[in-house]
Structure formats: C-alpha cells, structure tokens
Amino acid sequence: MAGAFRPVDGNRHSHVPPYRLALGPGPEPGRGRRTGGHRAWRVRALLPGVPVRHLGRQVGPGGHRRRFARNRGRSVIMADPLKGLSVLLVGCGKMGGAMLLGWLGQGLARENVVVVDPGAGTSVPEGVRSVTPEEAAHLTPRPDLCVVAVKPQTIKTVLPAYAALAAQGTTFLSVAAGTTLAGLDQALGGNAAVVRAMPNTPAAIGRGMSVLVANDRVSDVARAAAEALMRAVGTVAWVEDEALIDAVTAVSGSGPAYVFLLVETLAEAGRAAGLPGDLADLLARQTVTGAGALLDAMPDDPATLRRNVTSPGGTTAAALDVLMAEDALAPLMRRAILAAQHRSRELAS
C-alpha cells in the first residue's frame, strides 16, 4: 500500500512516530473564499445535493486518485474511489451525519448508502434509504463497508446484530472514541475485518482530519475503500500503533470543540472589554475563521504567523505575556489533552 500514500514531510513531522498521510481531494476553485462552516452546513441542510467544497493543503485535484487507479486498478479505488462503493451507516447523528454529507457531496451514490438510526428521523438526506436495525443486519447484497457511528457506551450492544455481515466479508469502520479494534472485533463475533477511525466534525464541509488504524484482517482493497471514504471528507493519516488513537482523539477528534470554545471566550472577553454583544460575537468568529484560513493558505508555521501579528512593545505582546506565561495556556492545554486522552483510555476499559 505504500505507493498509494503521499509520504509525510520528514522535517515537519520528524517527532511523530511513523504514520502515513493521505491527503483529501484536491482543492476546488474558490479556495480562500469566505464561507464559514455554519453557512456551508445550512446550505447543505437546505440543498442536500450541493457538493461540499474541498480546500486546504492538499495535492492537485485527483492526484492520489490517479495514483490509486494506476497502481491498484481495483474497482473501489479507480478514478472515482467512491463510485460503486456500498455503505451501511449505523448511527446518523452528529458525526455519522457529517460524514454522510461529505460522502454524498463527493459522489457516493445515494442509492448505494443505507442508513440505520432509529433516532435520526428526518435528518437522513433525501434519496438515502433508511432501514430498521433488523433489516440492516440482513442486507443483501451485503455492503462493502459498514460505518458505525453510535456512542461508545452503546456500540458493543449494537454490533453483535451485525456479526453475520462481518462473517460474510463486510469490513467495519468504527469512529467510536475509546473502542478498540479488539473490542470491536469481539462484538462482531471475533473474526471481523475492522478499521478504527477518529474523524472530526469539519468532515461535514470536507475539512475533516481522520486518523485510521486497521486490524490485520482488513484487505488492501478494504483499506483503500475505508481511506477513500475518509479522504472524501478531509485529510487522512494512518497509524500502525493503535495506542496513539487516544491522543489523536484528544487533539483532533475533540479539537474543534476547543476552537469553538476559544471563539466563545474571545467574544465573552470582548463583551467584558465594553463591546456590544453582537459585535463581540462577530469579531471573535471572524478572527478565528480568518486566522484559520490564513494558516491554511500560508506556508508559514503558526509561530511565524503569530510573530507577524506581534509588534514589539505593542498590544499583542501585552496579551501574549498573559497567555504565554508559564502557568497559562500551554500547561492548561496539556492538561486538557491529557484529560481527553485519559477519558479515551477509560472508555476502552
């Protein structure tokens, strides 16, 4: 499989244990435009057929797809890797729903997706078949992949119903936090091909970050299919060491929440500094989305971009003196990440 992946830049990631990075689909025209996730989400909710945009530090359009097609020549990984892939999605809540939007936007045929989620109600996109858990467990023909996006607390009671699909050769892809490959395999009867992925909600607009690990029953074709699904919603990296997924969960899985909290606290601090509430909200939102877009567009590392804002003896320096104090943001973030990592490990036990 090595040929199907773009090697990680050795300089930028030399401290990271070996993993492989697979970038998402190429950028579309309009890169650098002003969208905002909330707007894209609303547009998608209103117009489920509208394709998601793909922006970011990615290879040219179809670069990896072309390589897949040349190197592998297998059905699910040819020019359009999602074409012809059949997917059963178990759990269509915030994360499952976000991924589904991304897949449909990237060309996964609606008739090739089946959703099972007793609680999803009308949130399943038009044209996508919804079935009961009983029907899902006996789908014929069996789906290529079964993506499981139910809560970690329920996944082990949900999965046994799908053991027959696993036995027939469907590969399972779970996004549940803290649920190990071994635990998933056991719940599926003990002989299942399982991929574990940790995505994040920017997947809804094709800007997700997913890290994958697979057990040794997953074939190359199924690995490529799982990767194609996750690449359709953003950037993908593989790890060999499953233990890293707890830290991945803490950083990128939960990470969007930290950024949204930053927006909330920035707005709150703006209000405390005397700004009208709606102006404070606007400034906070635009500052974070603008800074994120700048980080995405520029080759510079974040420290350089930070220094570009910071005039010696100026206002930013005054604020950073507070934020970068020894007992301020860095140790706080370390504690937060360790707490999330710890919780991920707890969920596994």
Ligand X SMILES: NC(=O)C1=CN([C@@H]2O[C@H](COP(=O)(O)OP(=O)(O)OC[C@H]3O[C@@H](n4cnc5c(N)ncnc54)[C@H](O)[C@@H]3O)[C@@H](O)[C@H]2O)C=CC1
Ligand Y SMILES: O=C(O)[C@@H]1CCC=N1
- Which of 130, 180, 200, 235 touches ligand X by CB under 6 A? 200
User: Which residues 211-250 are close enough to bind ligand Y by CB under 6 A?
Assistant: 249
Q: How far is the CB of 208 from ligand Y (least distance, A)?
A: 12
Tokens describing residue 39:
């707007």
Give the residues across from 174 on adjacent strands. Answer: 148, 196
Q: How far is the CB of 212 from ligand Y (least distance, A)?
A: 15
Decide if residue 341 touches ligand Y (CB under 6 A): no
User: Among ligand X, ligand Y, none, what does residue 10 contact (CB within 5–8 Å per kind)?
Assistant: none
Q: How far is the CB of 170 from ligand Y (least distance, A)?
A: 24
Q: How far is the CB of 221 from ligand Y (least distance, A)?
A: 28
Give the residues across from 214 on adjacent strands. Answer: 195
User: Among ligand Y, ligand X, none, what does residue 150 contact (CB within 5–8 Å per kind)?
Assistant: ligand X
Q: Closer to ligand X by CB, 199 or 270: give it.
A: 199
User: Among ligand X, ligand Y, none, what does residue 3 contact (CB within 5–8 Å per kind)?
Assistant: none
- Which of 24, 91, 105, 255 touches ligand X by CB under 6 A? 91
- Which of 235, 253, 284, 293 touches ligand Y by CB under 6 A? 253
State the residues that interact with ligand X by CB under 6 A.
90-96, 116-120, 133, 149-152, 154, 158, 175-177, 198-201, 253
